[in-house]
A and B are shown apart, each in its own frame.
Chain A
Amino acid sequence: MKRQLTRSIGLALVLSLVAAALGVAAGKTEKAAPGRDVIAIEHWNENNQNGIMDANHPQSVAFAEQFGIVWESPMVPWNGGTDYLQQLRLRIAAGELPDVFMPWGGIEGELIDNGAVADLTALVREEMPVYYNNVPAEIWDFIKSLSPDGRSIYVLPAVQFTPLGGMIRGDWLDRLGLPVPTTVDEYVTVLRAFRDQDANGDGDPNNEIPTSGREGGRWMDHLFAPFGIAMVEGFPQFDIYDGKLQYSAVQPAMRSAIEWMRGLYAEGLLDPETFINTNQVWMGKITGDLIGSWYHGVHWAGGRFTVLYNSGVTDVRLEYLPMLRHPDYDGFLTTTDYRRPGYVFGAHMSEEAIRRTMRALEWINDPATSEERLRGYEGVNYLIEDGREVRLTTADFLALGTGYRTSVGAQVFSNAEVIAGQNLFQMSIIDPDESPEMFAAYGSLVNVNRMIDGYSRDTVRAIAGQFLPPSIYEGYPDIRTHRLFQEYVAKIVVGDWGLDRFDEFVDRWYRSGGTVVTERAQEVYAALQ
């Protein structure tokens, strides 16, 4: 009996080992080949947090017919870019690059230098003529400067993807009888009113957060802009200060900006949790009707509007918050024509696969196809009922339970004009009388267009340091990630440290690699000039 038991246990052990070994081997099987002349393309960008797109998504099915590719976008967590970059590095380490993907964190230089991404110089002109001509020549010059020979194109640039700007709750202002502020002093008056009164009208005068940002001092650019600080999404940039290209965070103007924000924080006008707000928490406060004013992509305002409206804040009105003027500083809102690298193609792809993917990207980025794209796909963007096209809101198609979201994605060329044009078209195909949700969707688009209009007329300036290659940060990872700046700005603003520590920050920044990086940036800038 005992012997039998021993044998059976032994056998089970051996079997489990064999099964484990087989399992490892099985994991290495090739991806199932799609149809005969259809190529599967794995696509990664930051939008995938919104939903996955697999081979069965109506858009993938349509793309197979239209371009001969199956467009697959797996779920890649974004988390401000950190998780995305980590996942991407993991795939690089495994030798399994996605086919077409957005590089992040300055990784494109490394990819190009090591031959990991394909040379697109000839192909982009042939397969993407509209996009090629829409991207300004100076951006192509910069893209070419990233290549080893200085003449080749390895990266498709993302151009003016989003106008970024301040927002303020118009309905809160109405309730308090205040106009949209245009100067720093007016803004402080409004913030005080938000703090002291029941601006959101819920009966509690104490739950309003006048303004807020995110951890690392991100998305608070509206508070830095009045001081002439070059900054994109909370990351300080290189711009001309005292006639030379320099890092904006180590300028005396930054000291003044921090001093002002320190005052706001002490007065309770800046969210006490601003430096620990994660994306989700921050978004939750905005859509929870708690934040009066914030900074974000203007074209995303529609999404906030819709959530607020659908949660019962039916009188919600979002206003564009212009760049706040300061009497002593020449403020501006930072923009960059070249926003970031849009796409690279893995060097492992066949030329045919690259060509087909490029045709799809050309179609997505051609302003002439925008109506076709916005009409979208049956089952995702609309349903056919009684022979009539019924538009679906985000809530509707989520309720369909397919897990799909409207997902044309992959747009790397757009500007205020293109976005506004798209919104006008969308408004023309929405019937606002059908349901409150539809009204919200409609209202959000009107709202976004008004904001884009405000942005276009505002003090917006493209900075001198917009064309700096990631290689200037080589060997200084903490300088590239602005870690030192994030630590000092947070601790000084919340009052943990005195304002005099700012000088220590400047000193430490230069000593820990800032000097070298500044010299490199100035050399590149001089060469570009």
Chain B
Amino acid sequence: MATNVGTPAVPVTLVRTGRTRKLRNTTMRKHRLLYLMVIPGILWFLLFRAIPMGGILIAFQDYNIFRGFLASRWVGFKHFAYLFQYQDFYRVFYNSMLIALQEILFGFPAPILLALALNEVRMSSLKRGLQTVLYLPYFFSWVMIAALFFQLLSLNGIVNQIIVALGGERMLLVQRSWFFRPMIILSGLYRNSGYGTIVYLAAIAGIDPQLYEAAMIDGANRFQRIVRITFPSILPTAMVLLLLRIGGLMNFGFDRIYNFLTPLTYGVGDVFDTYVYRVGLTEGQYSLTTAIGLFQGFVAFAMVWVVNQLMRRQGGGLW
């Protein structure tokens, strides 16, 4: 590569800058298609993530939708002060956190276990059949899944028929508070676990077969091979997915809860998303609910940061 080093009249810094620019131009030219492909993604982030961030400001206003952002009155932290005084806020906060943590506890390991199990199915036709069946629920909307669960758990549903056959009494589980959270978690497992295995199965496929052969020669049985080879090999993937999952934790999914929620289960199921919908969108309290959304965002960010710090100590982490 031609350089100007050695020409004393030209200052070194200038030379370096010129070189880098030229280099960048070359790389950008070389990979211009890749750069072009990034544009829609960047636009998407600007349009749907960066620009709407400006809307956060209405949390500090008494926002009037008719007068608009510029003419609305600034009120500082009024809505945040109200939030922390509001007795239902703590209930909503508690519910959101509890459901989110339960989702991590049960929802995160489920696809890993399922992927490990699927990987052990040797008959390929059976494996494919199983995979199709397991992936399918992911493509059902939450409305359908909620309807399905309500049907299964109805008085004449299959669950009650089993209960009666076993000598129990019929009960309407969907309106029992204690069953609400397990129902949310179970429906999540049903819908997402199968589809979640895709990434893990890909990770498993990338493991060097020689490792297994060596282990077999050393006398490792099937279970030992899973524990000593497969599991540690997919662990880094799992850690990254865990971090991503924690980031999206507070965005648990409005429709996932809303379709199961009834006044009977408000006490245990009212979360940030449903509260914002009820009070913000149908009652028009935009500033208050933006304040809640902002708080929710802070909590989510704090959680991601903490988990990332923990992972960094283990030598991982995203940043």
**Residues in chain A near residue B177, CB distance under 8 A:** 491, 496
The answer to whether A114 touches B66, judged by C-beta atoms less than 8 angstroms apart, is yes
The answer to whether A216 touches B263, judged by C-beta atoms less than 8 angstroms apart, is yes
The answer to whether B262 touches A215, judged by C-beta atoms less than 8 angstroms apart, is yes
- Interface check B233, CB cutoff 8 A: no
- The CA of A105 and the CA of B67, in the complex, are separated in Å by 21
The answer to whether A512 touches B263, judged by C-beta atoms less than 8 angstroms apart, is no
The answer to whether B87 touches A93, judged by C-beta atoms less than 8 angstroms apart, is no
- The CA of A273 and the CA of B173, in the complex, are separated in Å by 11
The answer to whether B264 touches A89, judged by C-beta atoms less than 8 angstroms apart, is no
The answer to whether A481 touches B155, judged by C-beta atoms less than 8 angstroms apart, is no
Q: A496-B176, A496-B177 are in contact. Are A490 and B264 (CB under 8 A)?
A: yes
- Interface check A17, CB cutoff 8 A: yes
Distance (whole angstroms) from the CB of B156 to the closest CB of chain A: 9
Q: A272-B155, A273-B155 are in contact. Are A17 and B39 (CB under 8 A)?
A: yes
**Residues in chain A near residue B266, CB distance under 8 A:** 483, 487
- The CA of A115 and the CA of B67, in the complex, are separated in Å by 10
Near B by CB (< 8 A), chain A positions 75-92 give 82, 85-86, 89-90, 92
- The CA of A212 and the CA of B166, in the complex, are separated in Å by 29
**Residues in chain A near residue B64, CB distance under 8 A:** 114
Provide the B246-278 mask, 1 if CB < 8 A to any CB of A, else 0: 000000000000000011101100000000001
Provide the B271-289 mask, 1 if CB < 8 A to any CB of A, else 0: 0000000110111110000
- Interface check A486, CB cutoff 8 A: yes
**Residues in chain B near residue A114, CB distance under 8 A:** 64, 66-67
- Interface check A116, CB cutoff 8 A: yes
Interface size class of B (residues with CB under 8 A): 20 to 34
The answer to whether A477 touches B263, judged by C-beta atoms less than 8 angstroms apart, is no
Of A6, A116, A491, most B-chain CB atoms within 10 Å: A491
The answer to whether A115 touches B66, judged by C-beta atoms less than 8 angstroms apart, is yes
Distance (whole angstroms) from the CB of A353 to the closest CB of chain B: 20
- Interface check A107, CB cutoff 8 A: yes
Provide the A5-19 mask, 1 if CB < 8 A to any CB of B, else 0: 010011001100100
Across the interface, A93 reaches (CB within 8 A) one of B37, B65, B67, namely B65
- Interface check B88, CB cutoff 8 A: yes
Across the interface, A6 reaches (CB within 8 A) one of B33, B67, B264, namely B33
The answer to whether B284 touches A107, judged by C-beta atoms less than 8 angstroms apart, is yes
- Interface check B115, CB cutoff 8 A: no
Distance (whole angstroms) from the CB of B108 to the closest CB of chain A: 30
The answer to whether A490 touches B263, judged by C-beta atoms less than 8 angstroms apart, is yes
The answer to whether A275 touches B263, judged by C-beta atoms less than 8 angstroms apart, is yes
The answer to whether B284 touches A89, judged by C-beta atoms less than 8 angstroms apart, is yes
The answer to whether B264 touches A477, judged by C-beta atoms less than 8 angstroms apart, is no
Across the interface, A105 reaches (CB within 8 A) one of B66, B87, B282, namely B282
The answer to whether B281 touches A89, judged by C-beta atoms less than 8 angstroms apart, is yes
- The CA of A311 and the CA of B208, in the complex, are separated in Å by 66
Of B32, B88, B155, B284, most A-chain CB atoms within 10 Å: B284
- Interface check B161, CB cutoff 8 A: no
Near B by CB (< 8 A), chain A positions 94-120 give 105, 107, 110, 114-116
- The CA of A206 and the CA of B179, in the complex, are separated in Å by 27
Q: A13-B36, A93-B65 are in contact. Are A478 and B88 (CB under 8 A)?
A: yes
**Residues in chain A near residue B267, CB distance under 8 A:** 487, 491
Near B by CB (< 8 A), chain A positions 475-524 give 477-478, 480-481, 483, 486-487, 490-491, 494, 496, 508, 511-512
- Interface check B154, CB cutoff 8 A: yes
The answer to whether A276 touches B264, judged by C-beta atoms less than 8 angstroms apart, is yes
**Residues in chain B near residue A491, CB distance under 8 A:** 177, 264, 267
- The CA of A491 and the CA of B87, in the complex, are separated in Å by 20
Distance (whole angstroms) from the CB of A110 to the closest CB of chain B: 7
**Residues in chain B near residue A90, CB distance under 8 A:** 281
The answer to whether A496 touches B33, judged by C-beta atoms less than 8 angstroms apart, is no
The answer to whether B281 touches A496, judged by C-beta atoms less than 8 angstroms apart, is no
The answer to whether A116 touches B66, judged by C-beta atoms less than 8 angstroms apart, is yes
- The CA of A89 and the CA of B284, in the complex, are separated in Å by 7
Near B by CB (< 8 A), chain A positions 1-51 give 6, 9-10, 13-14, 17
- Interface check B309, CB cutoff 8 A: no
- Report the nearest B residue to A485, measured CB to CB: B263
The answer to whether A275 touches B264, judged by C-beta atoms less than 8 angstroms apart, is yes
Near B by CB (< 8 A), chain A positions 238-255 give none
- Interface check B174, CB cutoff 8 A: yes
The answer to whether A215 touches B33, judged by C-beta atoms less than 8 angstroms apart, is no
- The CA of A478 and the CA of B274, in the complex, are separated in Å by 13
The answer to whether B284 touches A478, judged by C-beta atoms less than 8 angstroms apart, is no
Across the interface, A272 reaches (CB within 8 A) one of B65, B66, B67, B172, namely B172
Provide the B33-59 mask, 1 if CB < 8 A to any CB of A, else 0: 100110110000000000000000000
The answer to whether A9 touches B33, judged by C-beta atoms less than 8 angstroms apart, is yes
- Report the nearest B residue to A97, measured CB to CB: B66
The answer to whether A481 touches B283, judged by C-beta atoms less than 8 angstroms apart, is yes
Distance (whole angstroms) from the CB of B51 to the closest CB of chain A: 14
The answer to whether B282 touches A89, judged by C-beta atoms less than 8 angstroms apart, is yes
- The CA of A240 and the CA of B281, in the complex, are separated in Å by 33
- Interface check B131, CB cutoff 8 A: no
- The CA of A217 and the CA of B175, in the complex, are separated in Å by 13
- Report the nearest A residue to B64, measured CB to CB: A114
Q: A110-B284, A512-B88 are in contact. Are A275 and B175 (CB under 8 A)?
A: yes
The answer to whether B172 touches A273, judged by C-beta atoms less than 8 angstroms apart, is yes
Distance (whole angstroms) from the CB of B146 to the closest CB of chain A: 11
- Report the nearest A residue to B288, measured CB to CB: A477
- The CA of A529 and the CA of B31, in the complex, are separated in Å by 79
**Residues in chain B near residue A116, CB distance under 8 A:** 66
Distance (whole angstroms) from the CB of A155 to the closest CB of chain B: 17
The answer to whether B283 touches A480, judged by C-beta atoms less than 8 angstroms apart, is yes
**Residues in chain B near residue A217, CB distance under 8 A:** 263
Across the interface, A477 reaches (CB within 8 A) one of B65, B175, B279, namely B279
- The CA of A90 and the CA of B285, in the complex, are separated in Å by 13
The answer to whether B282 touches A85, judged by C-beta atoms less than 8 angstroms apart, is yes
- The CA of A481 and the CA of B176, in the complex, are separated in Å by 22
Distance (whole angstroms) from the CB of A288 to the closest CB of chain B: 13
Of B65, B88, B263, B267, most A-chain CB atoms within 10 Å: B263
Distance (whole angstroms) from the CB of A498 to the closest CB of chain B: 14
The answer to whether A10 touches B36, judged by C-beta atoms less than 8 angstroms apart, is yes
**Residues in chain B near residue A478, CB distance under 8 A:** 88, 279
Across the interface, A276 reaches (CB within 8 A) one of B67, B88, B175, B279, namely B175
- The CA of A119 and the CA of B68, in the complex, are separated in Å by 22
**Residues in chain B near residue A110, CB distance under 8 A:** 66, 284
**Residues in chain B near residue A115, CB distance under 8 A:** 66
Across the interface, B263 reaches (CB within 8 A) one of A92, A105, A487, A508, namely A487
The answer to whether A215 touches B278, judged by C-beta atoms less than 8 angstroms apart, is no
**Residues in chain B near residue A480, CB distance under 8 A:** 283
19 additional contacts, CB 8 Å, given A9-B33, A275-B263, A483-B263? A6-B33, A10-B32, A14-B36, A86-B281, A89-B281, A93-B65, A107-B284, A215-B263, A273-B154, A276-B174, A477-B279, A480-B283, A486-B263, A491-B267, A494-B175, A496-B175, A496-B176, A496-B264, A512-B87
Sample 30 A-B pairs with CB under 8 A, ordered by A number.
A13-B37, A13-B39, A13-B40, A14-B36, A17-B40, A85-B282, A86-B282, A89-B281, A90-B281, A92-B66, A105-B282, A114-B64, A215-B262, A216-B263, A272-B155, A273-B154, A273-B175, A276-B175, A276-B264, A477-B279, A481-B283, A483-B263, A483-B266, A487-B264, A487-B266, A487-B267, A490-B264, A491-B267, A496-B177, A512-B88
User: Which residues on B are within 8 Å of A, measured CB to CB?
Assistant: 32-33, 36-37, 39-40, 64-67, 87-88, 150, 154-155, 172, 174-177, 262-264, 266-267, 278-279, 281-285
